[in-house]
Structure 1
Amino acid sequence: MTSHKVVHTIKGLGDAFSSDESISPDGTELWAAHKRAGLTSVIDLEHREVTAVLKTGPDTNHPNFANTAHGSFVYLTVGGLDETLVYRRDPGGTPELVTRVHDTGHAPHGLWPSGDGTRVYVGMEKSDAVDVIDTATNKVIDTVAVGQEPQALVYVPNAAPTGSAASLGRQGLGDAPTTCPPACPTERRANPCAPATRAAGWKRRSGPSAAST
């Protein structure tokens, strides 16, 4: 029966704040990225203890796991360096930094491996694109244009078999990016970022404005 109570507290993390974590496919490790501190904690889930705190860099974002023909690795995005770090897993020990992949865009964020572990897809938050990394060479082999500011990404093997996506559209991927100005919630003018007004070709109305003297 579920008790909905805290059963254990893991201490010794690199920082109290972690926005992005990932559990290894075998369920033995949790990697917790500490964005503000530029650190990543590696946690042994069987013994419920921190086994390593890695200095990963400014704006450390998402970790994720890839089981490849060459072993088990963790790919970790570092937004402030425009890099994706590659670590060889060492359960119970300190992971080895294998290489740093220089991304083609800015602020790499969410990432996900392909089902067979041969590719890792990395969202470039500030470049509206996704890099494709070949895990055999750890090189970027392609870059795909996507929607604005990709922050998370999920790869689902065989989700769309050949021929099943014939009716799908591009959802405005060919449009120029739109910068939406901040507005007070009580402001009554049209919202240029709402899909309906954008589709209708909304334009800011010109003319005299009220002023008090």
Structure 2
Amino acid sequence: MKPSKKLLRAGPKGPVFFTCGWHRLSIFLTALFLVIAPPAWAAPRAYITNQGDNSVSVIDTLTDKVITTIAVGDKPAGVAVNHDGSRIYVTNPESRDVSVIDGQHAKVIATIPAGQGPLGIALHPSGRWLYVADWYTHEILVIDTDKLAIVKKIAVDLSPSGIAVTPDGSRLFVANRDSNNVSVINTETNAVIATVDVGTAPFGVTFDPAKNRIYIANVRSHDVSVIDGASLKVITTFKVRAWPYGIAITKDGERIFVTNQHDDSVSVIDGNNFANIATLTAGEYPEGIMVHPDGRRVYVASWFSNEVTVIDVDSLKTLATIPVGDGPRAFGIFIEDAANGE
């Protein structure tokens, strides 16, 4: 007997079928899937913290379009995304907490109290430990992501801001803005093992695994300190434009991108001789910056112009300008790993 088309309508307790046949089950399951299935988004996605409207804009980096917006805590700034994009952690300095976002369903599933002024944030490669810089208590808060609770506090110097963790998870680097230095933490013991003097008002921190270097953006001295990962000594300092905040580096370490807030620009630096290759126009007050995991694009969040600029790594041309929420900062690792969808 050939299957035939069957008619269905919605009843008070679900679908009601008028006739029998094996099509009933397939139609019902299809309808059920459409109701309960989470959004099927292309990946990887970028998560942009918008400080002005207490939200996170989610960008599909295959289309460079905002696909949804998530409400979080007060004045969100820092962001850390795990490799597969299943969890996103956002610091909210004004509500003094961290929002935990379920990446699959694009919603906040937990809120973790986090000291007096959580700002910078980084996730251990294992995904188990979350590190949060508390600007006011001058500490790094270690959060267990299984328990969603602080399990350790590590004293550092004044006003810790940017944080970077090595790919093997063994070291954590913290920029202490008001003491002009960087704390180096052994993550196994959760102890400070070195303090390195850098420029004036260090803020953004990025680790380069290709060359085993740490780059520090010094806001008030308008330069970038380069620390050797083995000796933990500054090996050079290079000038950029006014008020550098964020740093991004290509996978091979050959190009360095620095956001200059008071110049509305991005400096492009040669990773071998530290010469300036170009200075690119960005939006107003650029801060958060990250090289896409595909290595071909750089994403820049501009705080005052409410946009994210996409730059081609090779041609250095602007590929797209994406409107987002009010006051985007995207301070941290804000793009999920390319293994999830690209």
- TM-score grouping bracket, smaller chain normalisation: 0.5 to 0.7
1:102 equivalent in alignment to 2:102: no
Alignment equivalent of 1:76, drawn from 132, 136, 143: 132
Shift of 1:171: 5.5
Partner of 2:108: 50
> Contact between 2:79 and 2:91, CA under 8 Å: does it hold in 1?
yes
Structure 1 segments (4+ residues) deviating >4 Å: none
Partner of 1:35: 93
> Contact between 1:25 and 1:65, CA under 8 Å: does it hold in 2?
no
1:88 equivalent in alignment to 2:144: yes
Partner of 1:8: 68
> Contact between 2:112 and 2:149, CA under 8 Å: does it hold in 1?
no
Shift of 1:28: 1.3
TM-score, normalised with respect to structure 1: 0.67
Alignment equivalent of 2:206, drawn from 141, 149, 154: 154
> Contact between 1:115 and 1:156, CA under 8 Å: does it hold in 2?
no
The separation in 2 between residues aligned to 1:78 and 1:137, in whole angstroms, is 19
Shift of 1:3: 7.6
The separation in 2 between residues aligned to 1:39 and 1:50, in whole angstroms, is 12
Partner of 1:143: 195
Shift of 1:37: 2.2
Letter in 1 for 2:210: N
Structure possessing the higher relative contact order (Cα contacts under 8 Å, 6 or more residues apart): 2
Shift of 1:101: 0.6
Question: How large is the Cα RMSD of the aligned pairs?
Answer: 2.3
Alignment equivalent of 1:20, drawn from 78, 98, 112: 78
Q: What are the ranges of 5 or more consecutive residues in structure 1 without an aligned counterpart?
A: 163-167, 173-213
1:126 equivalent in alignment to 2:211: no
Summarize deviations over 1:96-152 as a string: whole Å, max 9, x none.
Answer: 32201111x100100000121100000000000000110101011111111111111
TM-score, normalised with respect to structure 2: 0.43
> Contact between 2:86 and 2:103, CA under 8 Å: does it hold in 1?
yes
Question: Which deviates more from structure 2 when the two are superposed, residues 129-138 or residues 29-38?
Answer: 29-38
Partner of 2:19: none
Pick the structure with more strand per residue. Answer: 2
